[in-house]
Amino acid sequence: MTGFARKVYKEIYKRMNTVTERLLQFLNSSPTAFHAVENFRKLLKENGYSELMENRVWQIEKGGKYFCTRNGSSLIAFRIPEETPRSFMIAASHSDSPGLKIKPNPEIRHDGLVQLNVEGYGGLLCGPWFDRPLTAAGRVMIKESDGISSRLVYIDRDLLMIPSLAIHMDRKANEGHPINMQKEMCPLFAQDLKENRFTSFLASQLNIPEETILAYDLFAVPRTRGTFFGADQEFISCPRLDDLECGFADMEGFLTAGPGQSVPLFALFDNEEVGSRTRQGADGTLLSDVLLRIQECLSISENQMRAMLADSFMLSVDNAHAVHPSWGEKADVTNRPKMNGGVVLKHSAAQKYTTDAVSASIVKQLAEKAGIPIQEFANHSAIPGGSTLGNLSMSHVSLMTADIGLAQLAMHSPCETAGAKDPSYLADLARTFFASALETGEDGTIRIL
């Protein structure tokens, strides 16, 4: 590459990295789903969105901007056009990532050392968690004089570590062995004989009496901060790229999309990594509850609503596997996504993904309109793949849907790798998507408005 070409190349990355730099800042401040939702909540309020409480009667008006949360870990935001909307344009991703959840009564004591008892959340890749600085983050429920309050927690220092067994005591360690979660993955916390050391430590960090801590949802989380790397800074490395990279890019597109004829709706669901079957998951009623309340507030009849949903569209947005440089044979023979290659359309004959020919065609037309590249993913036919939230959400609200994402490596590791250009591609697609509407003619022809 000539000096001039390299300079142009770097300038392209500099422009593209604006979204990516904001993404890494967001990820650094979002160690758990609770923190991610709170950060989105603040961002929406800064942009003039009104918060709707689920336990209140909603007042929704044309031209209004609104959002609601559930469980502090899921969020839906939407805008109402000035005219009666034609349909809904929905992009949904998830807030949670695989990790280590700290159990109640967590202290395990051996030979004067205190470990924390943890269990795996989701399908985490265990090996990279060893010998890596960790800390505790999540939420703590506190007894108040007039009720129960919730407090976000992030211990902003190196607090925990999962030490490996020395090679001298496990001579076959490099040959690989199954990792016993209960025996090997409990992080070292203290060298202390005092009982309830973890609870008292939490209380001191929150500056509250120990006895006021009622319960918590806490995780051992990596302290690694997001960074650019590569010869031309063309890659990013960060925890929780799956799936907050997609959630953040969707939000960028949502906030900057122009007005359209449909209701743009951004959804961020919790618990995708453990099956979505919770009240705040995509297999719960959050999306259908919000759509029903919009319908009622805008005095849309049931018949009208069904017609609107028939022309509505959902993007189920969750990251995809890039071709691994050392394991190319694990990828499909002909569908081989690359980092920095653009948004990935995900296909599965078993309907693990919702994409079909109709929804794929719509996404390709939207991508062309947005001026961004599209690539396609299918699993190697001899290697079963994972699934995501799209098909589970369909059991509650049936819509035309496509599964898309961004290509990454080391999925479900405590530190994942992706392309630095791709978040901007997804933000551009989301911006175009949220400003669009669909119209299906009597002959079945679909127009993008």
CATH code of the domain covering residue 150:
2.30.250.10
State mean pLDDT over 146-170. 96
In a domain? residue 362: yes
The reply to whether 217 and 302 lie within a common domain is: no
Residue whose C-alpha is closest to residue 88's, from 278, 295, 345, 354: 295
In a domain? residue 229: no
Q: How far is it between the farthest Cα atoms of the chain?
A: 76
The reply to whether 356 and 304 lie within a common domain is: yes
In a domain? residue 234: no
CA distances from 215 to 190, 199, 204, 267, 407 (A): 21, 10, 16, 28, 37
CA distances from 438 to 88, 263, 340, 357 (A): 9, 11, 29, 16
Q: What span, in angstroms and rounded, lies between the C-alpha atoms of 107 and 119?
A: 13
In a domain? residue 231: no
- pLDDT above 80 for 16: no
In a domain? residue 280: yes
Cis-peptide into 422, omega within 30 deg? no
Token pair recorded at residue 249 = 């890019």
Q: Which amino acid is at 441?
A: G
Token pair recorded at residue 299 = 């005095």
Q: How many domains are contained in the chain?
A: 2
Q: What span, in angstroms and rounded, lies between the C-alpha atoms of 263 and 169?
A: 61
What proportion of the chain, given as a percentage, has pLDDT over 70? 96
The reply to whether 91 and 178 lie within a common domain is: no
In a domain? residue 111: yes
Q: Which residues pair with 147 in a beta bridge?
A: 144
The reply to whether 208 and 254 lie within a common domain is: no
Q: Mean pLDDT over all residues of the chain?
A: 94
Q: Which of 166, 197, 222 is the last residue of a domain?
A: 222
The reply to whether 433 and 322 lie within a common domain is: yes
Q: Which of 222, 249, 276 is the last residue of a domain?
A: 222
pLDDT digits (tens, 9 = 90+) for 211-237: 999 999 999 999 999 999 999 999 999
The reply to whether 109 and 79 lie within a common domain is: no
The reply to whether 434 and 349 lie within a common domain is: yes
Token pair recorded at residue 318 = 């969750």
The reply to whether 203 and 260 lie within a common domain is: no
Residue whose C-alpha is closest to residue 404's, from 236, 252, 277, 249: 249
CA distances from 174 to 168, 325, 416 (A): 12, 21, 22
Q: Which amino acid is at 218?
A: L
In a domain? residue 228: no
- pLDDT above 90 for 301: yes
pLDDT digits (tens, 9 = 90+) for 322-379: 999 999 999 999 999 999 999 999 999 988 999 999 999 999 999 999 999 999 999 9
The answer to whether the CB of 20 falls within 8 A of the CB of 29 is: no
The reply to whether 264 and 408 lie within a common domain is: yes
Taken in order 324, 407, 388, 103, is the CA torsion positive or negative?
positive
The reply to whether 87 and 127 lie within a common domain is: no
pLDDT value of residue 5? 52
Domain region containing 329? 3-97+239-448
In a domain? residue 232: no
- Say which CATH number the domain at 386 has: 3.40.630.10
The reply to whether 118 and 73 lie within a common domain is: no
**125-139, 190-204, 276-290: which range is least confident on average?**
190-204
- The strand ranges marked E within 8-98 are 50-51, 65-70, 74-79, 88-94
pLDDT value of residue 6? 54
The reply to whether 105 and 88 lie within a common domain is: no
End-to-end CA distance of the chain: 42
Q: What span, in angstroms and rounded, lies between the C-alpha atoms of 313 and 404?
A: 13
Task: Give 208-259 as a DSSP string.
Answer: S-GGGEEEEEEEEEE-PPPEEESTTS-EEEETTHHHHHHHHHHHHHHHHPPP
Helix or strand holding residue 64 (H, E): none
Q: Which of 222, 248, 269 is the last residue of a domain?
A: 222
